[in-house]
Structure 1
Amino acid sequence: MDADNLVRMANRIGQFFEAMPDAAEAAQQVAEHLKKFWDPRMRRALLAHVDRNGSAGLNAMVEAALTRHRAVLD
């Protein structure tokens, strides 16, 4: 999987949820969206990218979602 494409798609999801007034709930919603709609291989590839590169390229909302709710995504 192309990590750059996964980061780009995750950032678009994060941008959508940034409009929510509660940042913690928004991060949870991002994680739930990734769990519900992304293939497990996509989630694993995104998490592997984060493990290798930190939060490189990810917007703050996606970074928060992956950090706080990683157990949901594994």
Structure 2
Amino acid sequence: MKTAHLIEMANQIGMFFDSLPDREEALTGIAEHIRKFWEPRMRRALLAALDTDDGAHDKAGFSEIVRAALVQHRAALTPAN
């Protein structure tokens, strides 16, 4: 699966949760959805893309809310091995 497609899917999830009035609930919702429904190799690829992106110019294409959710909930999203 292409990384760009994973980022696009994560951004779509982020758009849904971004409508919640509680920011923390939205960030947790994004992370929980990805953790529950994405297989480990998809999560590894998404986190690897986050690591290669400097954030300043958003080269990878992450939306702000998805980037925040991934950073805040990284430990829960990282597969065991």
TM over 0.5: yes
Looking at secondary structure, tell me which structure has more helix per residue.
1
**Structure 1: runs of 5 or more not aligned:** none
- Structure 2 letter corresponding to 1:2: K
* TM-score for the superposition, normalised by structure 1: 0.94
- What percentage of residue pairs aligned between the two structures are identical? 51
Give the TM-score normalised by structure 2.
Answer: 0.86
Cα offset, 1:54, TM superposition = 3.4
**RMSD of Structure 2 on Structure 1 (CA):** 1.0
Aligned residues: 74
* Structure 1 consecutive aligned stretches of length 4 or more whose deviation exceeds 6 Å: none
Distance in 1, Cα, partners of 2:9 & 2:54? 17
Bigger radius of gyration: 2
Structure 2 spans left out of the alignment, 5+ residues:
none
